[in-house]
Amino acid sequence: MSISNNSFAAVAAIFSLVLLCSMQCHAQLSSTFYDRTCPNALNTIRKSVRQAVSAERRMAASLIRLHFHDCFVQGCDASILLDETPTIVSEKTALPNLGSVRGYGIIEDAKRELEKTCPGIVSCADILAVAARDASTLVGGPSWIVKLGRRDSITASHTLAETDLPGPFDPLTRLISGFAKKGLSTRDMVALSGSHSIGQAQCFLFRDRIYSNGTDIDAGFASTRRRRCPQEDQNGNLAPLDLVTPNQLDNNYFKNLRQRKGLLQSDQVLLSGGSTDDIVLEYSNSPRAFASDFAAAMIKMGDISPLTGSNGIIRTVCGAIN
């Protein structure tokens, strides 16, 4: 009987430790993380982002995308910012990032300013998370409370950047499963897709769609988009993802889908007779529902596998290991 009691006590103790660790690990991300160690951190980041977006509205989309592309590859650890070295194959050169992901310099600018007042305190991963939130608010999108306390990786994964990031030609099933692998629901996926209310895409990413003469694209819309995207050459020509409010993060993206005016194939599949139709229709009718869900999904995305505690480092320069 005593052996049984001892066994029960041991199991209970182990369970308590696991539960405590789980709670502590989750609690390590906190909106007040820098309140004592770097109280002006958020204002410093906001200033850098505001200057960048004021100079170029498109940068807001780029900063949101930068955070997204970071979190989907080995978690929100600023691995996307690491430059190529003899021992690191940079994520920057992976196909989904090469020649299209922007905003690295804005993050470095913010980090440089933070190092002047709070050396070695604020992580590049947290700067990415805060910059994405500030970028959203600067173009009329929602705000949210950013949890802080992430640390920076000492590795990058070019391979995962090639495989784990959603693509512009992905079918709905692959989009849903890809987000689910990161702990994000179908509703999260549709809400986050609404970031395509801002930003631009290169011609080669939507050429097939606008020349397909398909039933899932408005003929007039396709004709308009062909003007700057010929069937051959000029692959890098840019077009706004949303023609109506290209510099405003709003629910017009979903209204476009109802009119068969999604620029990318991966946009229009969200309203194609599948499981996401009702969500698209809801967001197209309710700016409030979209804004609320977008903010919640960005918070969830920021929780993807962060390095906390003694894991990772605080980089001095975001593009390099200390």
pLDDT at 15: 44
Q: Is 246 annotated as a binding residue?
A: no
Q: Domain total for the chain?
A: 2
Residue 26 lies inside a defined structural domain of this protein? no
Kindly state whether residues 176 and 296 are assigned to the same domain. Answer: yes
pLDDT at 21: 41
Kindly state whether residues 128 and 65 are assigned to the same domain. Answer: yes
Q: Is 146 annotated as a binding residue?
A: no
Kindly state whether residues 185 and 295 are assigned to the same domain. Answer: yes
Residue 185 lies inside a defined structural domain of this protein? yes
Kindly state whether residues 88 and 158 are assigned to the same domain. Answer: yes
pLDDT at 107: 98
Q: Is 158 a catalytic residue?
A: no
Residue 12 lies inside a defined structural domain of this protein? no
Q: Is 250 annotated as a binding residue?
A: yes
Kindly state whether residues 47 and 158 are assigned to the same domain. Answer: yes
15-31 b/e (C-beta count within 10 Å ≥ 16 → b): eeeeeeeeeeeeebbee
Do 156 and 88 meet the contact criterion of CB atoms below 8 Å apart?
yes
Kindly state whether residues 177 and 286 are assigned to the same domain. Answer: yes
pLDDT at 244: 94
Query: Cα–Cα distance between 241 and 209 in angstroms, integer?
Result: 13
Query: Cα–Cα distance between 164 and 142 in angstroms, integer?
Result: 26
- From 165, 195, 229, the end of a domain falls on 165
Q: Is 73 annotated as a binding residue?
A: yes
Q: Is 77 annotated as a binding residue?
A: yes
Residue 138 lies inside a defined structural domain of this protein? yes
Q: Which long-range contacts (CB under 8 A, 24 or more apart) does 312-315 make?
A: 312/77, 312/123, 312/150, 312/151, 312/152, 312/153, 312/154, 313/151, 313/152, 313/154, 314/120, 314/121, 314/122, 314/123, 314/151, 314/152, 315/78, 315/111, 315/123, 315/124, 315/152
Kindly state whether residues 204 and 131 are assigned to the same domain. Answer: no
Kindly state whether residues 191 and 292 are assigned to the same domain. Answer: yes
CATH, residue 211: 1.10.420.10
Kindly state whether residues 178 and 290 are assigned to the same domain. Answer: yes
Catalytic pick from 26, 67, 69, 158?
69
CATH, residue 132: 1.10.520.10
Kindly state whether residues 118 and 217 are assigned to the same domain. Answer: no
Query: What does the pLDDT profile of the chain (322 residues) look like in tens digits?
Result: 444 444 444 444 444 444 444 334 444 899 999 999 999 999 999 999 999 999 999 999 999 999 999 999 999 999 999 999 999 999 999 999 999 999 999 999 999 999 999 999 999 999 999 999 999 999 999 999 999 999 999 999 999 999 999 999 999 999 999 999 999 999 999 999 999 999 999 999 999 999 999 999 999 999 999 999 999 999 999 999 999 999 999 999 999 999 999 999 999 999 999 999 999 999 999 999 999 999 999 999 999 999 999 999 999 999 999 9
Q: Is 122 annotated as a binding residue?
A: no
pLDDT at 28: 84
- From 108, 135, 165, the end of a domain falls on 165
pLDDT at 228: 94
- Domain enclosing residue 288, as ranges: 172-300
Q: Is 70 annotated as a binding residue?
A: yes
Q: Is 245 annotated as a binding residue?
A: yes
